[in-house]
Amino acid sequence: MTSRIPQWAAALFGLALSASACAADVRVILVGDSTMATKSGYGDALCARFSPAVECINLAKGGRSSSSFRAEGLWDKAMDLVRESRGRPTYVLIQFGHNDQPGKPGRSTDLVKEFPVNMARYAREVQQLGATAVLVTPLTRRTFKGEYVGNDLAPWAAATRNAARETRAPLLELNADSQAAVQKLGQEEADTLAQAPKPDPKFDRTHLGEKGAHLFSGIVADELHRAVPALNKYYN
C-alpha cells in the first residue's frame, strides 16, 4: 500500500527547502582563472574561511581571460546569480591577468585598450545590479630570477588598480602581497605550494596545491578584512 504525503506536509516541506536555500545572509561569487579555480587555485579554500552565513560560489575556470570568460557565457552565469540574490548583500570577486598576457590565442588581450576596459566593465555591471564588485590583482607566479621572485604580472596588476579607481570598486592587492610572501619563502619553499610536487612532469609555479591554496586564501581574506569590512563578521 502506497501512502501519500498530505498536501499540508508537502507545503511545509517545500517551505523548509526554500528557507534552507535562503539561509545564507550573504552571497560571495568568485570570478577568475585557474589560480582562483577549484583544484588549481585558492578559491575553494577562501570559501571555506567563511561562516555558514555566507553562500560562496566559485565560478573561476582555468585558462580564461578577461575576454574569454565573457565570450564563453561564463559571465552570464555570474550575473544570473547576482540577480537571484533577492536583495541579499552580494559580492563578486574578479581576478584576471594570467591568460590576458600575449601569446595565448583566443584569450590574450591588449594591456592598454582591452584589459582595463574589460575589468571596469565587469565592475560596473555588478554595481548596476546593486551588488559589490571587488577587483583582485593577479596572483604572482613563483619563479625566482636570482635572489628575487619575478613579477611579469605587474602591468596587469597596475591596470586592475586603475580599473578599481575608475569604478570606485574595492581592490584586493593580491599581486603585491603574494609576491612579498613568495619572496620571503625563497624558491625551494615556494615550490612546495605547487599543485604537483617536483619532479612530477605536471609541476609548475603558477597553480596551487592544498598548501598554496591555504596560504593565498589567507592573504585574500586579510585583504577582504581591510577592503570590505562589511564581511568581517562572516569568517569562521
What lies within 8 Å, CB to CB, of 39 at 6+ separation is 195
Peptide bond into 199 cis (omega under 30): yes
Q: Is 0.85 surpassed by the pTM of this model?
A: yes
Confidence (pLDDT) at 22: 52
Tens digit of each residue's pLDDT (9 = 90 or more) over 18-50: 444 456 999 999 999 999 999 999 999 999 999
Confidence (pLDDT) at 89: 97
- C-alpha 58/C-alpha 38 separation (Å) is 7
Check pLDDT > 90 for residue 111: yes
- C-alpha 192/C-alpha 169 separation (Å) is 34
Cell numbers representing residue 99 in the block: 591568460
Q: What are phi and psi of 32, to 5 degrees?
A: 175, -155
Confidence (pLDDT) at 86: 82
| Arithmetic mean of pLDDT, 151-161 | 98
Long-range contacts of 121-126 (CB under 8 A, 24+ apart): 122/31, 122/66, 122/75, 122/92, 122/94, 123/94, 123/163, 123/164, 123/167, 123/169, 124/167, 125/79, 126/82, 126/92, 126/94
Confidence (pLDDT) at 87: 86
- C-alpha 236/C-alpha 221 separation (Å) is 11
Check pLDDT > 70 for residue 2: no
| Arithmetic mean of pLDDT, 199-224 | 98
| Cα angle: 214, vertex 220, 225; to 5 degrees | 125
Band (14; pLDDT cuts 50, 70, 90): very low
Domains of the chain: 27-234 (3.40.50.1110)
